[in-house]
Amino acid sequence: MARHFSLIRDFQLADWFTLGNAFCGTGAIFASMRFLQEGVISDLMIGMSLIPLAFVLDALDGRVARWRKQQSVLGRELDSLADVISFGVAPAALAYACGMQGGWDWVVLSYFVGCGVSRLARYNVTAESLAGEDAKVRYFEGTPIPTSLLLVIVLAIAAYGGHLGGQLWLGSIKVGPWLLHPLVLLYALSGTLMISRTLRIPKP
């Protein structure tokens, strides 16, 4: 007989690390929105600092699962959903808060998130076929979505130096009816590398 909160009761220790990852990503999104409302730079910096913490928790959940021999399909799905928030939506929200708000910026940031979602979905359905005899995946097809941490680091350096909004690095250009901030093309590059089928990165 199912009990109340039975799903939570079934969570393993590693799953709580994964949920911590999602919590950090959600916090970064809220911090971005608060910065847009209040204009307090510390809110933005707090949001950016949550992404490295999410990265650490994302690394720990897998290690804890292997240590306790408690890897599961539920844990893998939780991990992917948390990664979409922390390394897909949150970096895009931070970029928007930093000033990438032109029409073409929206397109590129949406493309980036779409690539991240596609990358994780592909990994989930191909992990078994890519695994060796020990059931361990040997390599990533395309860059893992947590590499978007590098984008957040770039934004943090820019924000620390006051290069936000109209002062954003590389400025902005008008392409047709919309504005484009060239810095957003880093997101386009990151997204494209994530969905590559030919780029193979050894998995530690």
List the CATH number of the domain containing 38: 1.20.120.1760
Q: CA-CA distance, 161 to 156, in Å (whole number)?
A: 9
Structure tokens at 16: 């709580």
Whether residue 2 is contained in a domain is answered as no
Whether 152 is covered by a domain: the verdict is yes
Q: Would you give the end-to-end CA distance of the chain in angstroms?
A: 41
Spell out the per-residue pLDDT of the chain, length 204, in tens. Answer: 455 544 555 666 677 788 899 999 999 999 999 999 999 999 999 999 999 999 999 888 766 656 556 566 566 778 889 999 999 999 999 999 999 999 999 999 999 999 999 998 888 777 655 555 555 556 677 898 999 999 999 999 999 999 999 899 999 999 999 999 999 999 999 999 999 888 777 665
Q: Answer yes or no: is 135 within a domain.
A: yes
The number of distinct structural domains making up the chain is 1
Residue whose tokens read 């620390």: 160
> Is position 79 within any domain?
yes
**Whole-structure pTM value:** 0.85
Show the domain range for 99: 11-202
